[in-house]
Chain A
Amino acid sequence: MLKIKKCDLAALFARISENNDLYLPVKTAGKTNFAAWDETADVDLDTLKTVKSPKDAFFPQSENLYTCNKQDGKTSITPEKLREEPFVLFGIRACDVRAIDVLDRVFLSDPVDSYYAARREHGIIVSYACHAPETSCFCKVFGIDAAAPEGDVVTWMVNGELYWDAKTEKGALLTAQIRDLLTDGDAAVVETEQAAIRAIVEKLPNSSLSLDGWGAEAAKTRFDSPVWEQLYKPCLACGTCTFVCPTCQCYDIKDYNTGSGVQRYRCWDSCMYSDFTMMAHGNNRTSQMQRFRQRFLHKLAYYPANNDGMFSCVGCGRCVDKCPSHLNIVKVIKAFEKEGV
């Protein structure tokens, strides 16, 4: 266990960024999101949840895949360069670390998504414990420990000092780069803090949410439930829940005419959108109820069916906080619990 004073973090970040691109929570215009670090960045480790999850670091909202150019009647195709330089993702919370696991199972299974794989290979995750979990958090439901996140390096902030614990080889390599800035720390201090965090997590209103009835079989038992018809009604069909979600992984592939050619890029898509998976014949989900159902059954039934029962929700609670109509996965889970179906 190592540590560094909170007031020395700027030096730590400067050091890390000598050899790596560094992404961490930065406050811009009043909201905190993951962004590249520089000396002027307003680093914000206090805000529990960035508005957008850090999944952008591996699966950007929009990324170019390749570029076609036409000059003098000749066409050339240039694939986008894959990530080759290391980067550090600092300050990522337990739920968001688990979410990367969810994404890995999609993008790293056959056929492997090379753009994603390259970023995963070069990305070093420095996680950060949740010292003040919030009402909307329910990570415990998915077996996530807010006091002990996964990651290459795990950190805690106790009494104005950041405790640093490398967990993996990647983590050890990063630690070696900055070792001279760190001093030895007492693991017992961290354990005390962890106990305090876990005590709060117990008190969170949704920590004891029951997932009974969800999983692969729900695709059959709950697909035709009349509950959906009631639940979806206030849905505005916006993409807020999907775009703030750390595990949503759907994307669309589009072409952009640059004048001199075409850039083929992909960007996040949302199953809440009416043109999601639009095909020549039209759309296979024609009503908002169907789209709404799709999202939650994907998280709670289809994904588990394909991934050994693992849910593709990590209980970060962003959708609980951000849905303009106050709809969210917790409500869905509870509604079915109430109906007993």
Chain B
Amino acid sequence: MPLIMPDLKPVMPEIVMTVIAIGMLLAELVIKRKETIGFLTIIGAGIAAFTLAGSMGTTFGGMYVSDGYSTFFKLIFLVNLILTILMSSRYLETLKINFGEYYSLILFATLGMMLMASAADIIVLYLGLELMALSTYILAGFIRYDIKSNEAAMKYLLLGAFASAILLYGTSMIYGLTGTTNLRDIAVYIAKAELASNPVLMLSMIFFAVAFSFKIAAVPFHMWAPDAYEGAPTPITAFMSVGPKAAGFAVLGRVFLTAFGSVRMDWAAIFIPIAILTMAVGNIVALSQTNIKRMLAYSSIAHAGYMLLGVIAGTPDGLASMLNYMFIYAFMNIGAFAIIIMLRTETFKGEDIADYQGLSKTHPMAAALMLIFMFSLTGIPPMAGFMGKFYLFMSAINAGYTWLVIVAVLFSAISAYFYLRIVMLMYMKEPKETVQLNSSPGVALALVVTVGAVLFIGILPSKFLLFARLAASAF
């Protein structure tokens, strides 16, 4: 059998990423200043982002596809990566965990996500997922001396493995049914063999749904998220709350709309209760949190619920709204985490919600930024969060799920309560103790970028919507 050189153009960004990841691993041996590694990583990510532009195509025998959809997600991953790295260096220094491996791991994790977004074959999907997951497990446990970090990694890993097992079980069933692992072939075979109402197909679909729900932290498969988010180093929490979630949505969208496209009503019926539960539990439990990372974890669960609406709608608009929301969510959520990171010093954890009391008095700028992120997360115009939600609700209503949107808006109104609590503490209470800000150019830059994006997308979202729409239609 002749060895044919596959078309490498579609995987160019991934190749760049791999090279940088390995390069960073080696660079760590020679470069002492970790900021430099961070800087190089960002440049690398930038290059990867550039190569995204010309990467359209399918390769490796249809196993790997680079289309608008995947490109959009990859953009989110890279933004996520860059912002996380910007926030990381000072934090790592403060916590004395400034190891060079951090950067290559985060690069590998991002690479995993990119693979997932482009995977057109369950095998690639699975491997991408595991690459991302394994790297993230390590990153979550990166504060080796901290019991919480260990515990977070442990829980994340074990439950992650459990979910993987379920995913694989589902895979094995679909393989048994269709004899293939290629998503498109699966769809074709389901149509051909009229498997649409086959219970085994249903079962395998359920297992897929469960595994992806785990990744996006949808209820009741969300239980790992609060613990992992709380224990992980804060930049990684930010990274995790966007990256793996987005990757989860990427595969969820692709698998369900490609492979199971013909049984949309069935999987919509699975996801509707999940979405409702997710919004409910996420928003409601967030109300009584005292740790801000944990609160944002629940908030991120709730946001997954909103995004599920886009998938449930199942239309190109629905998908586009989900993409768009994910994009916006990346900025606003990471922005909020950047503030949390700024509060962290060697002696002061700054993770208690009560620590934000009176922040507007001691650090008005930080408080104002936090306010913007909080209102954006609530979904109040003119912040981007509103536009994101609005487009989501619109596409869900267009797909006929008005009642579901009513549920969603009510829960989003509930969510205002806990976001506002932060604003309230910052602005309406007197400071308890003086909080030092552990600011660095990186975090500052990250904040500028995020707040700029949140406001810009909030007011002039046209281009972004169009981009998302384009990405979704080139699916």
Do A and B make up one complex?
no
Report which B residues bind A (CB closer than 8 A). Answer: none
